[in-house]
Structure 1
Amino acid sequence: MTGLVLPGPRLLDPAGVPPLRWAVVGTGIGAAFVASLHAHTPQRVVLWVARDAARTREVARRHGVERSTTDLAAALADPEVDAVHVATPHPLHRDQALAAIAAGKHVLVEKPIAMTAVDAAAITSAAAGAGVLAMEAMWTRYLPQTDVLRQVLAEGLLGEPRLVRADLGSAVPYDATSRLWNPDLGGGALLDVGIYPISLASMVLGPPAAITATGRLAPSGVDAAAHVLIGAAGGGAALLSTSLDTALPAVAGVVGSEGHTEIAAPFYAPTALTVTVGPEGSTRTATWTHPPTDGPTDGYAYQATAFAHYVAQGRVESPLHTHSETVSVLATIDEVRRQLGA
C-alpha cells in the first residue's frame, strides 16, 4: 500500500505583495502584529495610535515606528496611511473600524470584529459600500497548516465531514475589574478565545442549522465557560468548548466518513496537522509540521501578507473569511451567550 502524501501549503510571497503603510491602534496585541510584520514582510507600520502618549512613543520606538499619536482622527486623516489595524478592546472595534472606513482606509480588526453580529454587519456593509477592505484578524485562517487542511477537505481525503472537535481555554484568576471578566470591556470566554473553535467549525461545516449550549457564568455575569453542540445543514456536527476558569488542551480535529485529522495544540497557532485515512486495519497516516525556520513561526505575517494581496486585488472582503461568514460566527456567539444568559 502506498503511503499517504499530503498537499503542501500554497503560500503567498511576501515580497511579491505591494507593501502598505499601516497605522496600528492599540499597544496590546498590536505589538506582536507589528513585530511579525517587520520581521517577515515588506509591510511597514508608519504610525502608532494609543491613549497613553509616553507608553505609545516607547512602544513605537522599540519596534522601529517613527511616529505616534493619541489622536485617532488625525491618524485616520493622514494621507501616508493606507491601512489601519484596530487592536483595541472589543467594545471599541465597531466605532473605530467605521471611522477608518469613513476615512477611506482599509481596516484589519482584531477578533472579534465586533461585540455582536449586528455590529459586525455594520462594519462589513460600510466597507463594501466604501470600496475598502475590511477583514477580521482571524489569523488562523491564513496559516500554512490551515491551507493544507482546506486542500485535504477539498480533495475529499476525509470523505464527508461528519464532526469537528475543538477546545480552547485557560484558568484565569477571577478579577471583576480585568478586561476578561468585565462585561463592559467585552469580557467572557466566547468573545476572547471561544471564537477560535467556532470559526474552525464554520470553515469546515458552514453556518449552523442548530445550536445547543451549556456552561457557567462568572459572578460578573460574563460567560466563564461554554460547551456548544452545533448541527450543520449538511448533517455534520461540531463539539466545541471554551473557558476562562479551566485550562483546556487546545486541540482540534475533523472527522470524516473516510478519515480524520488532528491539529496539534495549540490548534489556532502554527503547529502540525496529522491526517489518517482508510478503514481500520489498513489506515495510512501523514503529518505536516510547520517548519521551525522557514518563514514566520508567530503566524501574524501570513495574515498581513494576505491582507495586502487582497487590497492589491481590489477586494472588500477576504475570500478565505468572507463578510457573511464573519457575521455568522458572531451570530453563533450571540446565540450561545443568549442561551447561557451572559
Structure 2
Amino acid sequence: MKISVQNKKIRWGIIGLGKIADKFATDLATISDAELYAVASRQQTKADEFSKKHNAKMAYDSYEALTNDSNIDAVYIATPHVLHKENTIMCLKKGIAVLCEKPFAMNSEEVEEMITVAKANKTLLMEALWTYFLPHYQYVLKLLKDKTYGEVQSLSADFGFHRPYDTKTRLFDKALGGGSLLDIGIYPIFASLSTLGLPKRISANATFFENGADSTCNMTFTYSDHLQAELKSSLLKELPTQAIFTCEKATIKINTQFHAPATVSIIKDGKEELKDFNYNTIGYNYETIHFNNLLREGKTESDIMTFDFSRKLIKTLDDVRNKIELDY
C-alpha cells in the first residue's frame, strides 16, 4: 500500500470513461468514506465532461498522467478488455491499488502476469465482478452452501440482448475482445463456477458475426452424470437473463438481470415466494465498499473474489474459446 488510508477518504481514480465507468462513479458518490479524485481519458474533452458530471478534482488526457498523481489511492480500470493487463500493471508498479473490470484480462497468461506483478509490489488487486458482492447473490450462495433445499440438480443461466451490429463500437470489435462471450457470457459462467465449481467437461458451440466476433455462445458444463449447467449468451436477441437452480426440494430463481440488482424467487410445492432486496443504487457500491475495506486493512487480495477464482474464471473462458475456435 502506497500511503496510509486508515483515517481518511479513499481517493479513487478511473481509467476509461465509458458506460460502466459512469455507473461506477455514480455509486462511488454514495460511499461516505471514499471520493472520486481523478479521471483519465485519451481525450481531454471527454475527461473534462466526466469530471464535471461526477465532481472529480482532476481530469487527465492520458492514463499515465493519472497514475503519476500521488494523491490517488486506488484506480478503477474500465478500459476495453485488451487494455486491462497493460493498464493494471502500469498502476501496480506505482503502488496504486487496482480494481479491474471483468474480464480480468484476455487470457490466463495475462491474468497470471497481473497477479505476479501485484504480489511483487505487495499491492491490492481485484477483478471487478460486481455480481459476487450483491446481497441477492450472496443470499443465494448461502442457500446453496447450506443446502437449504437439498442438493442442486441443475442450473440454467443466460444473458442476452440485441444491439444493431456496428463494428465501430467496442461491443462488436473483435480486436478489443468484443463479442458475447467475454462481455456477457462471463456472467452465466460465473454463476456456474461460483456455485458448482469447475466442471468435469465442457461442450460449447457458437455463431459468429462477419468480422469473427461471436454473436451467440451455448455451453453445457457437466459436473456428474446427474448434474449439468446449461449456459447461454447472445447479442442477437433478448434472453430472460435469469439464473435458475433446480434443487431437490425447491427451485431458486434469480430473476431478470440476475447479474445486477435483482429479486429472488423460491418456488416450492407450487407456490412462489418473492424476496426483494430493496436496492437503491445501481449496485457497484457493494464491490467498492469491499475493496475499500481491504485497502484499509492492508490486504493485497480479496477473500471473496480471490486470485484463485479469477484464475478459474479466465481458464474456463479460455477453454470455451478453444471449443468454439475463437481467437483474439
Q: TM-score, normalised by structure 1?
A: 0.88
Match of residue 79, structure 2, among 60, 84, 88: 88
Which of 268-277 and 60-69 deviates more? 268-277
Contact 1:18–1:309 (CA under 8 A) maintained in structure 2: no
SS at match of 1:241: strand
Cα deviation, 1:248-270, whole Å, max 9, x if unaligned, reads 11111112233220011011111
Q: CA deviation at 1:189?
A: 0.3
Counterpart of 1:320? 304
Unaligned residue ranges in structure 2 (runs of 5+): 1-5
Contact 2:254–2:265 (CA under 8 A) maintained in structure 1: yes
Contact 1:205–1:234 (CA under 8 A) maintained in structure 2: no
Instruction: Please give the alpha-carbon distance, in whole angstroms, between the structure 1 residues aligned to 2:164 and 2:42.
Output: 27
Quickly say closer, same or farther: Cα 1:236–1:118, change in 2 above 3 A.
farther
Q: CA deviation at 1:309?
A: 1.0
Match of residue 14, structure 2, among 12, 21, 24: 24
Instruction: Please give the alpha-carbon distance, in whole angstroms, between the structure 1 residues aligned to 2:297 and 2:224.
Output: 32
Instruction: Please give the alpha-carbon distance, in whole angstroms, between the structure 2 residues aligned to 1:51 and 1:311.
Output: 28
Cα deviation, 1:61-97, whole Å, max 9, x if unaligned, reads 1111121112322321322111010011111101000
Counterpart of 1:60? 51
Q: CA deviation at 1:183?
A: 1.2
Quickly say closer, same or farther: Cα 1:315–1:236, change in 2 above 3 A.
farther
Counterpart of 2:273? 286
Counterpart of 1:264? 255
Q: CA deviation at 1:316?
A: 2.2
Q: CA deviation at 1:336?
A: 1.4
Instruction: Please give the alpha-carbon distance, in whole angstroms, between the structure 2 residues aligned to 1:302 and 1:17.
Output: 20
Match of residue 304, structure 1, among 288, 292, 295: 288
Counterpart of 2:96? 105
Q: CA deviation at 1:218?
A: 1.1
Instruction: Please give the alpha-carbon distance, in whole angstroms, between the structure 1 residues aligned to 2:216 and 2:32.
Output: 37
Counterpart of 2:124? 133
Counterpart of 2:163? 172
Counterpart of 2:210? 219
Instruction: Please give the alpha-carbon distance, in whole angstroms, between the structure 2 residues aligned to 1:217 and 1:53.
Output: 36
One-letter amino acid of the structure 1 residue matched with residue 273 of structure 2: A
Which of 233-242 and 251-260 deviates more? 233-242
Counterpart of 2:3? none
Percent identity over the alignment is 29
Q: CA deviation at 1:58?
A: 1.5
Number of residue-to-residue matches in the alignment: 320
Contact 1:37–1:304 (CA under 8 A) maintained in structure 2: yes
One-letter amino acid of the structure 2 residue matched with residue 291 of structure 1: N
Contact 2:36–2:54 (CA under 8 A) maintained in structure 1: no
Instruction: Please give the alpha-carbon distance, in whole angstroms, between the structure 2 residues aligned to 1:227 and 1:216.
Output: 9
Q: CA deviation at 1:143?
A: 0.6
Match of residue 123, structure 1, among 114, 117, 125: 114
Q: CA deviation at 1:148?
A: 0.8
One-letter amino acid of the structure 1 residue matched with residue 316 of structure 2: T
Instruction: Please give the alpha-carbon distance, in whole angstroms, between the structure 2 residues aligned to 1:90 and 1:101.
Output: 17
Correspondences of 1:243-258 after superposition (within 5 Å): 243-258=234-249
Quickly say closer, same or farther: Cα 1:104–1:235, change in 2 above 3 A.
farther
Counterpart of 1:13? none
Q: TM-score, normalised by structure 2?
A: 0.92
Contact 1:18–1:312 (CA under 8 A) maintained in structure 2: no
Instruction: Please give the alpha-carbon distance, in whole angstroms, between the structure 1 residues aligned to 2:76 and 2:143.
Output: 31
SS at match of 2:30: helix
Quickly say closer, same or farther: Cα 1:306–1:170, change in 2 above 3 A.
same
Unaligned residue ranges in structure 1 (runs of 5+): 1-15
Instruction: Please give the alpha-carbon distance, in whole angstroms, between the structure 2 residues aligned to 1:22 and 1:210.
Output: 41
SS at match of 2:200: strand
Contact 1:141–1:321 (CA under 8 A) maintained in structure 2: yes
Contact 1:251–1:263 (CA under 8 A) maintained in structure 2: yes
